[in-house]
Amino acid sequence: MPDRKQNLPQLYRFCFLMTGDARKAQEVFHATLREAALRSSNGETPSDPFWLYRDARVRCLEASEQGVQAEDVDLNEDDLSPGAPTQIKKLDANQLAIWISAAPEPQRTALALFYLGEFDHEEILDLAEIKLSDFSRLLAQARRQFQAWLNATFPQEEQVI
């Protein structure tokens, strides 16, 4: 991981993507760092470099079990469009976080870690506890589902030839 000061904002963003709720994300973030500070003051600094993310992930999953749950529905899928970046620019971060946090596990963790841009794929496999083939499938599926949702939310104008 790069500089630790850069990691903490990314850790918060991870919590936000996992929970889809700024309040819950802050609670998880504070709880994780308090635990880390407590361990550190007791001379028990974890040797695992990904300890913060592992701990935060567990807390996020626990926090997500409370409150409104996402429905288990089959989402439409579309091919990725060259216009997707334009559609994504129209989104705000909350919409993205809500979409990711509604994904089932371990797809949710995989998406949150992947789009943080902090980890290579092997580190994500380790953190999300999944196999490469599953990670690849979940990521490809999520892109297509997200594209379908974008198409439904921000329909692209037909090109006139």
Partner 1 sequence: MKAAHLSRQQRILVHCAPISDEHVSDRAMRAAIFRARGTDEFANQQSFDRAVTALVEAIPIPADVAEWFSREDLVPRRKWSWKKTARNPAVVAIGIALAVIAGVFAFQFSEHLHDFPGIGTARKLLGVAGSTKSVMLDPMKVDAGTLGDLFFMKHQLEHYDVPPEFADFRTLGCRVFDDEEGHRVAQIWIVEKKMQLFLFPAEKDPKSGAVRDFSGWRNVEQEGWAGVVREKNGVCFMAALRGSARDLAPYLAKAKE
Give the nearest distance from C-beta 86 to partner 1 in angstroms: 8
**Both tokens assigned to 137:** 């499938």
The residues that touch partner 1, with contacts defined as CB under 8 A, are 1, 4-5, 7-9, 12-13, 16-17, 22, 26, 29-30, 33, 36-37, 40, 45-49, 51-52, 79-82, 84-85, 88-89, 91, 93, 96-97, 114-117, 119-124, 132-133, 135-137, 139-140, 143, 146-147
**Both tokens assigned to 76:** 């439409």
Give the nearest distance from C-beta 15 to partner 1 in angstroms: 9
Give the nearest distance from C-beta 100 to partner 1 in angstroms: 9
